[in-house]
């Protein structure tokens, strides 16, 4: 039976994070994940996780100055010091709540200088994360939702992972983003499975509940079962109405 993680960056946004964790448990999710929990006291999150028995799979580094267009910092030349502070913040928070993964956001950048910056920053992140037993994730984002984002394809991500050369860096395989950018999800999952640290799902093209659109997730779930993938799959979608109203897919997919 597949396991599912509620991405609380999108689901139950109307609730404080600790209450969203409780709502995810009540709805039948097996784990949770989030984006930017830093304004929520660690103890409140830890208490909710303890009450529910859920694991917080991961969280993101901050985007930076969103008003100025930042969408991450790690690949942006001349922002290395800020990127390292963001990584230290994320790893510290993740360690405090028992989260095993940190997604390091690359940001808007391009070219060889951005690649060099990203690799150096990720090496620093991996060394720091290793001390806490944490895995660093990097995620290609599509050019419609995240214009100008440095990391856009699975092959680019895998080349970066190889260049970093650390054992604790993996690919965040978001089916929504990669279907828009590349497609061929079956072959990519089969080929890259050992390099994947987390998988996320949403409908394409509207990023709603994963029960319609151009990706047949029933097929994807059967494929992952055949491949022996047993970790929770992240539901990272924007509910069409309320979160509860759109959860029929969760029981159907089980």
| Catalytic positions | 139, 236
Helix axes 154-164, 112-131, angle to 10 degrees: 60
Distance of alpha carbon 196 from alpha carbon 192, whole angstroms: 6
Q: How far is CA 181 from CA 94, 175, 196, 224, in A?
A: 30, 10, 17, 21
**Cβ partners under 8 Å of residue 97, min gap 6:** 37, 42, 45, 46, 49, 56
Helices (H) and strands (E) in the chain, counts: 9, 8
- Half-sphere exposure for 4 (CA within 13 Å, toward CB): 25
Sheet holding 233-235, edge to edge: 31-33, 4-7, 233-235, 196-201, 169-174, 135-138, 101-103, 58-60
């Amino acid at each position: 039976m597949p396991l599912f993680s509620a991405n609380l960056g999108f689901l139950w946004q109307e609730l404080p994070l600790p209450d969203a964790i409780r709502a995810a448990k009540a709805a039948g999710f097996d784990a949770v994940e989030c984006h930017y929990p830093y304004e929520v006291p660690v103890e409140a999150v830890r208490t909710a996780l303890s009450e529910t028995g859920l694991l917080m799979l991961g969280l993101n580094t901050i985007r930076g100055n969103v008003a100025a267009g930042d969408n991450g910092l790690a690949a942006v030349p001349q922002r290395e010091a800020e990127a390292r502070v963001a990584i230290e913040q994320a790893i510290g928070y993740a360690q405090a709540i028992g989260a095993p993964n940190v997604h390091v956001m690359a940001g808007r950048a391009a070219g060889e200088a951005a690649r060099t910056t990203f690799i150096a920053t990720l090496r620093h992140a991996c060394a720091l994360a290793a001390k806490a037993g944490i895995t660093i994730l990097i995620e290609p984002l599509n050019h419609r939702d995240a214009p100008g984002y440095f990391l856009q394809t699975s092959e680019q991500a895998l080349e970066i992972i190889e260049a970093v050369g650390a054992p604790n860096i993996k690919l965040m395989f978001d089916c929504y983003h990669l279907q828009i950018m590349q497609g061929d999800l079956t072959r990519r999952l089969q080929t890259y499975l050992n390099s994947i640290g987390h998988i996320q799902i949403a409908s394409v093209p509207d990023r709603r509940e994963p029960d319609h659109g151009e990706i047949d997730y029933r097929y994807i779930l059967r494929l992952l079962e055949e491949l022996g993938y047993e970790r929770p799959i992240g539901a990272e979608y924007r509910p069409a109405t309320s979160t509860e109203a759109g959860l029929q897919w969760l029981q159907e997919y089980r």
